Structure formats: structure tokens, C-alpha cells
Structure 1
Amino acid sequence: MSHYCDDFFGPGHSIVFALSKARHLLTAEMDVALSGTGVTSSQVGVLLLLSRDRAHTSVGLSRLLGIDSGFVTRMLDRLERQGLLRRARISADRRVVSLTLTEAGRDVATRIAEIAPAMLNRRLAGFTPLEFATLCRLLNKLLEG
């Protein structure tokens, strides 16, 4: 089934436009909420994935976050300069660099886990539980497609 056609396509009808606008809105609000932590919304995923042992390498982060490896490397450089993570070569394969959070990084990840849900809940306050579940289900379906 086709949902779009040439004569009925524009920013007001494009899910790409709506998703992009929603992303920018949420990113801006998250950056304000995180202003006291020293990190930005773009660094949240890295810190939370590392803190929950979901990833240990830049390649793993890149795959899970769906962002290119160059962007991940620049983000890791910033987090390392801030003293929030450490890189260490794995002796068995020196090409692989293992990532671990420092104590300061774990503290920031804990703060993020307290701040982010409150900000998201404020933005989603107008959604019923069913609407929220439907939104999540449909976004996951779009990502799987």
C-alpha cells in the first residue's frame, strides 16, 4: 500500500518532517533539563548504554544508537576529556578499544536516569496510557520496517 504520492506530499503531510520536528523539540527540552550535568542530550544514550553494560565499544554504541562511527568517536573524545569515560585497549586484540565509565561518568548516568524521565513525562502528560503505548508500538514498527 502506498501512503504518499507526488501530488500530495509536503512538509505538512510528511512523517519525516513531523519526526524531525519532534526530535528537535525533545532534544532542546532535554538539553535544558540536563544543563546542570555538563552533558548534552546527544550524549545521554552513550552514558546510559555504558552504565547498563549494553555496549562496551564504539562499534557497539554506533549500532545500538543508529549513528555513524565518526560521530560516536567525537562524542567519546568529549566524554573522555570531561573525565566521564576511559578507553582501554584489549590485550587479546589491540584493535578493540573497551569503554568504561569513570566514577564521575557513573554519577552523571545516575543523574540522567533521574532527570530524563521527568522531562519526558512532562512532554507526554497529554497522552493516555493507551496513546503512549500505541506511539511506542508504531515507532518500533517504523524502525523495524
Structure 2
Amino acid sequence: MVSTSNHSPALESWQQNLAPYNLGYRIKLVSQLLSRKFTDKLEPFGLTPFHWLVLCCLWQEDGLPTSSIGDKLKQVGGTLTGVLDRMEERGLVRRERDTHDRRIWRIWLTDAGKELETILPPIAAAVRDEAMDGISFADRELFSQILNRAIANLS
């Protein structure tokens, strides 16, 4: 870190806002490192972290409208449509029109998509546990609450 011994307290306070010491940079770095590690683990399955997120939504509630998945993941339609196209090509999901409103497409897991529910969560947990090694359960919970609050503050 840059020495601030010859600077005023105001400047010392300001230094913590500079990369690579600021909070935003460090959160981005953690995100990139987690994503890289998880991407490596998902690669043998031909999946990406975004596929994982969509699968998680559908494991919790199968048959969601595309818009609901986008809302949950805070994604725009075009991005999600491409991901769903690739997941459908791989035989993980199928699309069906809503029986009550033909404008709505519902996304359903196939048997292959359902099978991944027993395979992928332990892999994700192992990556999480590696990242959280040496951090107590209480601190993990506090960290999660702080992140949730920051997300809410900025949303």
C-alpha cells in the first residue's frame, strides 16, 4: 500500500478508495476468482456459471416464465434468451407456451436438467468452502447479510 505517513488524515482516508484497496475492486476480484474456479468445475459438463444460475431457479420452481427467471437473476431478455437457447440445445430445458397466456414462454427442466441437481450443488459447495476456508460460520453469515444489504442499498 502507498505510504501515507507524510499525508494528512483526510488523504489517508481517501487512499482506501483507490484500487487495489477499495471495496468495489476487491468484491470484483473475489467474483472473478470464484467465477473462474467454478467455470473450471462446470466445464466438463459443458456449462457456465450462468447456466448454473438458471438451473438453480428451475430446481426451486420448475416451469417458470422466462421473465421470472430474468427478474430473479436481474438479467435482460436478450442475454437470457441466448442462454436458454444453448440449454435447450444441450437437452437441459424445454420451452412451452403458457396455456393461459400464449405470449408467455415457460421453461421446464428435462430429465437431464433434473439429474444435474444431484451433481452440481456439491461442486458449488466445494468451491464456496474453498473460498470460505478459515472463515467461521458466524462470519460467513454476517458477510452474507452485509452483501445483501449492499445489494439492496444499490438496487
TM-score by length of 2: 0.82
**What letter corresponds to residue 88 of structure 1 in structure 2?**
E
- The equivalences for 1:1-145 within 5 A come to 9-53=17-61, 56-145=64-153
Consecutive unaligned residues of structure 2, counting only runs of 5 or more, are: 1-12
Cα deviation digits, residues 76-135 of structure 1 (max 9, x gap): 011001110000011321100011000001112321112111121111112112221111
* Count of aligned positions: 141
Kindly indicate whether structure 1 or structure 2 has the higher relative contact order, using CA contacts under 8 Å at least 6 residues apart.
Answer: 1
CA contact (8 A) 2:62 2:109 kept: no
Q: Is the 8 A contact 1:89 1:98 kept in 2?
A: yes
Structure 1, 118-127 or 73-82: larger mean CA deviation:
118-127
Displacement of 1:54 in angstroms is 6.8
| Paired residues of 2:62 and 2:108 also in contact (CA < 8 A) | no
Task: Compute the RMSD of aligned alpha carbons.
Answer: 1.9
The answer on whether the counterparts of 1:37 and 1:108 sit within 8 Å (CA) in structure 2 is no
Q: Counterpart of 1:107 in structure 2: which amino acid?
A: E
Identity fraction in percent: 24
Structure label with greater radius of gyration: 2
Amino acid across the alignment from 2:59: S
Comparing 10-19 with 39-48, greater Cα deviation is found at 10-19
- Equivalent AA in structure 2 for residue 26 of structure 1: L
Offset at residue 32 of structure 1 (A): 1.4
Q: Which runs of 4+ in 1 moved over 6 A?
A: 5-8
What is the TM-score when the length of structure 1 is the normalising length? 0.88
